[in-house]
Amino acid sequence: MSRRLLILEDGTIFEGQAFGADFDVTGEIVFNTGMTGYQESITDQSYNGQILTFTYPLVGNYGINRDDYESIIPTCKGVVVAEAARRPSNWRSQMTLDEFLKAKKIPGIAGIDTRALTKIIRQHGTMRATIANAGDTVEHLTDQLRATVLPTNNIEEVSTKTAYPAPGIGKNIVLVDFGLKHSILRELSKRECNITVVPYDTRAEEILTLNPDGVMLSNGPGNPDDVPEVLDMIRGVQGKIPIFGICMGHQLFAKANGAGTFKMKFGHRGFNHAVREIATGRVDFTSQNHGFAVSRENFPEDLMITHEEINDKTVEGVRHRRFPAFSVQFHPDAAPGPHDASYLFDEFLEMIDAFKLEHSGR
């Protein structure tokens, strides 16, 4: 097996074995603490442009299957593991992780100390990194890495270019695609919703002409500051139609109502984040994948904080005080991860019913 290098912008170099696609890549390096769910993570568009490190020591042991895709064309830059399983064992497995990464043109590196790498990221924060073949000149690669400016059009890259339907017989939901996970579509389809997925830059007037019962703001990659045009759309819809935001959708909903956001040191990426609902004290274990968060500083009067992360008190949920609209930072679609918070989809549909009833006599 050929040798491959992982070079960090602080000068740290790891040497390991090559697997997956065979070319050099540069991106922001992050880590995920999940013990399973590598296929969902790799295909999650929220990892667009990032090199994804798995802290669990063995990855690929149950292969790749047809059911666990969160998107068909993943856009993460690379995959880093301590050990890549060569022979998966699972009745659903259709190919190995190595075969999958080759097919999707994603390079990987195995055989490095992912514990040491994770400690560096925790101490210094997420940073740029390069995966390169061992024969390349390290000094040249390091200079190139430090000169690299990472793209900021992540949402534009992964959002659908044209609207499309996911037909159902129930409530009419417009789902704004900032890099959506298929599991959000699955949860809405389970509830028989008639879904129309629209591009991230769809204007409020266009959404309202679709006559939706509710609007969902999906997850997605990057910095919410990079899509300021979305804020006008949210302000144009809220109050007229119930809104539910998830992850990036949560951050954009909060920003549209006057809240700030900030870049976290190394983010939340894993499937066991404990979140408390402030009003009830209920604690859910949640799936999360975000590098930015909503700030508590100068929090707007129109919003109330409904959920917080138990460990670092990150704002994990907000609700509008006057309009039927709420959002959460975590993933209630739970793919991969615990299903504790899937009830939020039901709350959204109940909110739609209550809003219709309130306005039926007007």
Q: Which of the following is catalytic: 250, 273, 307, 331?
A: 331
Q: Which of the following is catalytic: 98, 213, 333, 340?
A: 333
How many degrees, rounded to 5, is the angle at CA 43 between CA 193 and CA 256? 60
Residue 355, helix vs strand vs coil: helix
How many degrees, rounded to 5, is the angle at CA 16 between CA 10 and CA 21? 100
60 is annotated as contributing to ligand binding = no
Q: Which of the following is catalytic: 68, 76, 247, 273?
A: 247
260 is annotated as contributing to ligand binding = no
46 is annotated as contributing to ligand binding = yes
The reply to whether 333 belongs to the active site is: yes
19 is annotated as contributing to ligand binding = no
- Give DSSP secondary structure letters for 98-132: HHHHHHTT-EEEESS-HHHHHHHHHHH-SEEEEEE
The string over 275-313, giving b where at least 16 C-beta atoms fall within 10 Å of a residue's C-beta and e elsewhere, is bbbeeeeeebbbbbbbbbbbeeeebbeebebbbbbeeee
220 is annotated as contributing to ligand binding = yes
- Residue 213 contacts residue 246 (beta carbons within 8 Å): no
251 is annotated as contributing to ligand binding = yes
Strand pairing report for 303-309 and 261-277: antiparallel
The reply to whether 68 belongs to the active site is: no
Q: Give catalytic residue positions.
A: 247, 331, 333
List residues forming the annotated binding site for L-glutamine.
46, 220, 222, 248, 251, 289, 291-292
Question: Per the annotation, where are the binding residues?
Answer: 46, 220, 222, 248, 251, 289, 291-292
